[in-house]
A and B are shown apart, each in its own frame.
Chain A
Amino acid sequence: MDERSLESNREFKTHRSPVLSNSDNSILNGVRIHRKEENKMGGKTLRVVHYLNQFFGGIGGEDKAHAEPQIKIGPIGPGKAVQGAFGDQGKVVATIICGDNYFAERIEDATTEVMNLIKSQEPDVVIAGPAFDAGRYGIACGAVCKRAQSQLGIPAVTGMFVENPGVDLFRKDVYIIETESSARRMSDVISKMVNIACRLVAREKMGKPSFEGYFARGYLNNEVSDRIGAERVVSMLLAKLRGEPFQSEVPPPRYDRVKPASGLKDLHVATIALVTDGGLVPKGNPDRIQAREATRFGSYSFNDTDGLNPDDYEVNHVGYSPVFVLQDPHRLVPVDVMLDLEKEGVIGKLHKKFYSTAGAVCVVENIRTMGQAIAKELKDEGVSGVILTST
């Protein structure tokens, strides 16, 4: 009979220290050169258009930042490195140069103007920058790449430093190679950009951000590790206790900050509106607000004598149990108390509609859009301040 006790029956797997990857402001070692011998593009030489600002395009410095978009034949400046990286597989047929200020002062229109020049070259790939730490340039590169993808359906790649505002604005839509803040290691960065472009053209599965060198674009995908989670979490703790380097499997989130609006000078004359993301809706959910990943909101009038009657409402929200709110909706949207405060003159007016959506499992983009729309409606209706109640 097999008698094994837990202490001795299983082999203890050797703990392997994960490779430390410092993604703050350094480029990873090991440039990944695309394999020239694997010509997966079917032998056709790719037509490449390169976008540069006035400085890298050789027109001038800040004095030329208002330069209008112009087109030049062949590669210019860093474009030569782009050509070198593509080798036989691609030809930089044209370079579009535009002043950073010209672009920044009219982003939509400038993007269109640049796109028209790009289109004229019938490219297979667009390379923009890299912009390193230059903010206006980064935004231009991101905008051009995003439009090239959506309008022409071709791969477009750029490169920026982590603090470049273009990163947060465009990394979900565009592959952005991570660079240092200064324009060092230009050919290194360009090699990585070209590598991504070739993979996109060949429709190969893209490697992980840390491997290929681009900023994570925001997609989560499950993969299968070699060890179960229990083993990984114990090993990670032991590494941390020993002072060994470890790599967290989940990086911290990034959220933008907004400057608060100025407060109300006088509550007695203010109109206050109630907004909730607790999913309180009239029975039947007439606006079909989704219980999760909501894209819709509603505004619902209420009686200024009776407030909210539990028989008239339901809750559509997956993240909490609505039992108590269903018994008395005022526990989520405090209409009763606000009506009293209005009667007593503490506030000028209570807006007689409350706004509602569901904040469960929310998509940042959707919440942003809804927030903007709600804000507009409230302002149009003369509201000056908001109380938002969340679960």
Chain B
Amino acid sequence: MLTKELERAGLPTAHICALTPVAQMVGSNRIIPAASVLHPVGDPNRDPAAEKAFRRGIVERALRHLHD
């Protein structure tokens, strides 16, 4: 629901969210699935370098959604 107010004010917002059905239901427009509720842009099962690369992948996806 934060996304709607940000978008309403003219700020395109990419929403990285674990529970995408909720995001869809409340009306977020740019939704990117997160890794997990407990670590949206992380993965404790990977080693730190691999985890950072994984995180970057999700963030880059989010940025693509922000791009026109």
Asked whether any CB of A lies within 8 Å of a CB of B in the complex, the reply is: yes
B15-55 at interface with A (beta carbon < 8 Å): 15-19, 23, 25-27, 29-30, 34, 37-42, 44, 52, 55
Across the two chains, which residue of chain A brings its CB closest to B5?
A371
A25 at the interface (CB under 8 A from B): no
Of the candidates A257, A331, A338, A367, which one forms a contact with B42 in the assembled complex, judged by CB atoms under 8 Å apart? A331
Interface string of B1-21 (1 = CB under 8 A from A): 111111111111111111100
Q: Which residues of A contact B40 (CB under 8 A)?
A: 278, 331-332, 389-391
**Closest-CB distance, A380 to chain B (whole angstroms):** 11
Bound-state Cα–Cα, A321 to B38, Å: 6
**Closest-CB distance, B37 to chain A (whole angstroms):** 5
A383 at the interface (CB under 8 A from B): yes
**Closest-CB distance, A229 to chain B (whole angstroms):** 24
Of the candidates B9, B29, B60, which one forms a contact with A372 in the assembled complex, judged by CB atoms under 8 Å apart? B9
Q: Could you say which interface size class chain A belongs to?
A: 35 or more
Of the candidates A364, A387, A391, which one forms a contact with B66 in the assembled complex, judged by CB atoms under 8 Å apart? A387
Across the two chains, which residue of chain A brings its CB closest to B22?
A390
Q: Are B56 and A337 in contact (CB under 8 A)?
A: yes
Bound-state Cα–Cα, A263 to B11, Å: 8
Q: Are A387 and B59 in contact (CB under 8 A)?
A: yes
Q: Are A367 and B1 in contact (CB under 8 A)?
A: yes
Instruction: Name the residue among B6, B17, B18, B52 with the largest chain A CB count within 10 angstroms.
Output: B6
Q: Are B10 and A334 in contact (CB under 8 A)?
A: no
**Closest-CB distance, A41 to chain B (whole angstroms):** 43
Bound-state Cα–Cα, A335 to B39, Å: 14
Name which of A186-194, A197-205, A264-272 contacts chain B: A264-272
**Closest-CB distance, A362 to chain B (whole angstroms):** 7
Q: Are B23 and A387 in contact (CB under 8 A)?
A: no
**Closest-CB distance, B43 to chain A (whole angstroms):** 8
**Closest-CB distance, B15 to chain A (whole angstroms):** 5
Q: Are B11 and A378 in contact (CB under 8 A)?
A: yes
Given the known inter-chain contacts A332-B39, A337-B55, please indicate yes or no for A262 contacting B68, CB distance below 8 A.
yes
A contacts, CB < 8 Å to B: 253, 255-265, 267, 270, 272, 275, 277-278, 320-321, 323-325, 327-328, 330-332, 334, 336-338, 340-341, 346-347, 357, 359, 362, 364, 367-368, 370-372, 374-376, 378-379, 383-391
B contacts, CB < 8 Å to A: 1-19, 23, 25-27, 29-30, 34, 37-42, 44, 52, 55-56, 58-60, 62-63, 65-68
List 16 A-B pairs, Cβ < 8 Å: A258-B8, A261-B7, A261-B10, A262-B68, A264-B12, A324-B39, A325-B42, A331-B40, A331-B44, A334-B41, A334-B56, A372-B8, A375-B11, A385-B13, A387-B13, A387-B62
